[in-house]
Amino acid sequence: MCGIVGAVSTRNIVPILVQGLQRLEYRGYDSCGVAVYADGLKRARSVARVAELMSQVDSEKIAGGTGIAHTRWATHGAPAVHNAHPHFSHGPGEAAPQAPGRIALVHNGIIENHDELRAALQAKGYKFTSQTDTEVIAHLVDSLYEGDLFDAVKAATKQLHGAYAIAVFCKDEPHRVVGAREGSPLVLGVGKDENFLASDAMALAGVTDQIVYLEEGDLVDLQLGRYWIVDRNHKAAERPVKTVQAHSGAAELGPYRHYMQKEIFEQPRAIGDTLQGVESVTPELFGDGAYRIFKDVDSVLILACGTSYYSGCTAKYWLEAIAKIPTQVEIASEYRYRESVPNPKTLVVTISQSGETADTLAALKHARSLGMENTLTVCNVSTSAMVRECKLAYITRAGVEIGVASTKAFTTQLAGLFLLTLSLAQVRGKLTETQEAQHLKDMRHLPTALQAVLALEPQVISWAEDFANKENALFLGRGMHYPIALEGALKLKEISYIHAEAYPAGELKHGPLALVTSEMPVVTVAPNDALLEKLKSNMQEVRARGGLLYVLADADSKIESSEGVHVIRMPEHYGTLSPLLHVVPLQLLAYHTALARGTDVDKPRNLAKSVTVE
Ligand code: G6P
């Protein structure tokens, strides 16, 4: 989703701004742009990739020491050059609306009262050249400008409703960039005699590792060699400077064709890293004070979006079966707006790869506003807002995930959630030492087990050849493998654009069976658990209607390939942890189907990696 980079320096910062955008490319975007001060406002914008923008900047010789840059993921107005950021103000006195005005601004988020503000600004004579809510902010800042940009931005943000991170500069104050955040992430990078702004620290990798995480409502005034932060009440605010070893987003692909493929194959390492140092099950794995909180809670409420939501759905089966704790899982964007019955003794668990997903953060705040103060996150980014906002955290060590379709983040989340299950079970007296030892042994064996599953790739490729010319697919699972079926369908639809749905297999007769024909591949997740015989009956129902079955069977499931039934046998039966293994062939199936269909695997159309607007 939208990415921001800004800088004030004495050197030409255009290369830094554009490289920063490249590091933010993984978030997903459809247009990009950069503006600098060079005896006035100069900008370049493009609906192509950042590499194109770089060539445009070079050929137009755009250079300067103060500037802002942006990758846009369209919300208001189509992906088009005139909607791409940076936006310039066009005051009533300025002749041509296309000519550079006084203010240049980039924005991440959504301004909800933009219609009302636009009408008021139009009445004052402001001309609009885009359909964006962002241009409204540029004009608003201009309308409030009386010689001090920081004051103008302070006044403007008082009138904005919604979520935003903005970076803005003014041609009348060439060595100054002002930033503000409310609901969208923004960090300050402190350099030597120069300062930077960015959506995340990764954008500044190699530029500075001195990072200040701005808090909600903060405004920051960047100048050469100094910066100044105020809080939402405009009181001076001290924010710690942290040394952050940000990984470069442009991680090496190595022998892989795509980041998604690389990330699927990194899972044994990612799980190994995530479990490193876990010698025994103890609440302290989740932070200081976890024992007291775990002892106090009587239920769990999991809040998340997308793939992270499905890891939560899987964990519900573990939490109720092993820790015997009532667990609810809710999509964050639903929970935040519905009337629910709060229970202060609930452990609120957010799950997020990025730690910046707007709906999950808002759902967390909503839960807190209802008096639920026991908060824990399972998150892949230790410096994220989610980790800062929760009392307890388990940091997964998947490493930077670049492919929009989440893979290694999912399996590492499951590993963290399984440990949470064991810890809660222990505190609640539901885990014997023998059981603890067995579970830990199984967890330690996961990297090896995952390697064996990855070796099934050639068989999955032959399935993918069949799927490549289909337009629909059904995924079935039961029990804790139903969320795995959901995740498999999500992966396939995200990157191959095949319509895919998942159902609990027992629901087949209540609707989806009507869709089953010889054109409908039906993927069945069939581990050898207590529900296997029931699942086999569901499979018969599909075959009887001519449906083609693609079965992920366990080592000992006793399901054989036959006409219309394609079986891939998992290398070993893995009991409670089997969701972590069964999901891997489904990730590979989506990847190879997308590859065969020639879609943009790492950056699927319309989707973003980091969803920082609701
Ligand atoms: C987007 C991403 C998904 C991710 C979801 C939740 O939709 O494309 O891969 O699962 O956001 O993101 P989070 O960072 O909170 O896990």
| CATH code of the domain in which 272 resides | 3.40.50.10490
Residue 291 lies in a domain: yes
| CATH code of the domain in which 106 resides | 3.60.20.10
Of 479, 469, 351, 452, give the one whose Cα is nearest residue 406: 351
The residues near 498 (Cβ < 8 Å, ≥ 6 apart) are: 467, 470, 471, 472, 473, 492, 593, 597
Residue 451 lies in a domain: no
From the number of C-beta atoms within 10 Å of its C-beta (0-12, 13-18, 19+), residue 175 rates as middle
340 C-alpha to ligand 1 centroid (Å): 24
CA dist list (Å): 151 to 126, 527, 609: 20, 62, 34
| Number of folded domains that form the chain | 3
Q: Which residues of the chain have pLDDT under 70?
A: 93-99, 246-251
Tokens 């605010």 label which residue? 237
Residues 490 and 376 reside in one and the same domain: no
Domain interval for residue 318: 253-444
404 CB within 6 A, ligand 1:
yes
Of 402, 595, 401, give the one whose Cα is nearest residue 497: 595
Q: What is the pLDDT of residue 153?
A: 98
Residues 199 and 344 reside in one and the same domain: no
| 595: Cα separation from own chain's centroid | 23
Orientation of helix 408-427 relative to helix 578-597, angle to 10°: 170
Domain end position, chosen among 216, 248, 280: 248
DSSP letters for 130-143: SS-SHHHHHHHHHH
Shortest-distance atom of ligand 1 to CA 304: 15
Residues 552 and 483 reside in one and the same domain: yes
413 CB within 6 A, ligand 1:
no
305 CB within 6 A, ligand 1:
yes
Q: What is the pLDDT of residue 567?
A: 94
Tokens 């003014």 label which residue? 170
Residues 555 and 406 reside in one and the same domain: no
Shortest-distance atom of ligand 1 to CA 413: 16
Q: Where are the alpha helices (DSSP H) in 545-610?
A: 578-597
Testing ligand 1's pocket by substitution, the residue of 609, 612, 613 carrying the most ligand atoms inside 8 A of its CB is 609
- N-to-C CA span, the chain: 11
Q: What is the pLDDT of residue 246?
A: 66
Q: What is the pLDDT of residue 2?
A: 85
Residues 126 and 233 reside in one and the same domain: yes
Question: What is the dihedral angle through the alpha carbons of 312, 313, 314, 316, rounded to the nearest 10 degrees?
Answer: 90
Domain end position, chosen among 418, 444, 470: 444
Q: What is the pLDDT of residue 249?
A: 47
Residue 534 lies in a domain: yes
- What residues act catalytically? 2, 609
411 C-alpha to ligand 1 centroid (Å): 14
Residue 466 lies in a domain: yes
Beta-bridged to residue 170, according to DSSP, are 103
610 C-alpha to ligand 1 centroid (Å): 6
Kindly state the tokens that stand for 571.
Answer: 């290398």
| Long-range contacts, 40-44 (Cβ 8 Å, 24+) | 40/100, 40/171, 41/88, 41/100, 41/101, 41/102, 41/104, 41/171, 42/100, 43/86, 43/88, 43/100, 43/104
Q: What is the SS3 string spanning 459-494? A: HHHHHHHHHCCCCEEEEEECHHHHHHHHHHHHHHHH
Residues 214 and 300 reside in one and the same domain: no
Residues 173 and 199 reside in one and the same domain: yes
Residue 308 lies in a domain: yes
Residue 450 lies in a domain: no
Which tens digit of pLDDT belongs to each residue from 99-138? 678 999 999 988 999 999 999 999 999 999 999 999 999 9
| 587: Cα separation from own chain's centroid | 17
Kindly state the tokens that stand for 421.
Answer: 């299950």
76 C-alpha to ligand 1 centroid (Å): 21
332 CB within 6 A, ligand 1:
no
Residues 218 and 359 reside in one and the same domain: no
Residue 345 lies in a domain: yes
Which tens digit of pLDDT belongs to each residue from 146-181? 999 999 999 999 999 988 999 999 999 999 999 999
pTM of the model: 0.83
Shortest-distance atom of ligand 1 to CA 607: 8
Question: What is the dihedral angle through the alpha carbons of 259, 527, 474, 471, rounded to the nearest 10 degrees?
Answer: 40
Cis peptide before 86 (omega within 30 of 0): yes
Residues 244 and 257 reside in one and the same domain: no
Domain end position, chosen among 192, 215, 248: 248
Residue 506 lies in a domain: yes
Residues 440 and 500 reside in one and the same domain: no
Residues 295 and 430 reside in one and the same domain: yes
SS3 403: coil
Residues 134 and 282 reside in one and the same domain: no
* Residue 225 φ/ψ region, left for φ over 0, alpha for ψ in the -120 to 50 degree band, beta for the rest: left
Which tens digit of pLDDT belongs to each residue from 444-485? 999 999 999 999 999 999 999 999 999 999 999 999 999 999
